[in-house]
Amino acid sequence: MSSNEREKQEQVPGSQDTGETAAVISEQGGIPGQRKEVNVENYERVASIGQVLKELEFPANKEKIVEFIKANATDKELLQKIEKLPNKEYKNVSEVTHEAGLVY
């Protein structure tokens, strides 16, 4: 594993980092300017989807996303969430997490 891959892995919040991640988001919400409300169901799951799909070329349809996750992830719950996505074309990871009901 290259040092670059390790650095990226460390950026992914785990269940032990949930409080820290929520604190950072709360702190960012206090910055003056236009505020966009975002609710995240599970930070670890959203980060996991982002980490897996970072190499996928978008736009991508549901079938392409499901096949990519089958080939690159071992998380069965993640695959189940993705398999429930509406059958359409997605522009980016953000759209995928939103449609999966993890970010709303």
Domain count, the chain: 1
- Say if 58 falls within a structural domain: yes
* The predicted structure's pLDDT at residue 3: 47
Query: Does some domain include residue 20?
Result: yes
Domain hosting 38: range is 3-99
**pLDDT score recorded for residue 82:** 92
Tens of pLDDT along 5-64? 545 555 555 556 666 666 666 665 566 665 566 677 778 888 888 899 999 999 999 999
Copy the structure tokens of residue 92.
């980016």
Query: Per the domain annotation, does 104 fall within a domain?
Result: no
Least confident of 24-38, 63-77, 84-98: 24-38
Q: b/e string for 4-17 if b means 16 or more Cβ within 10 A? A: eeeeeeeeebeeee
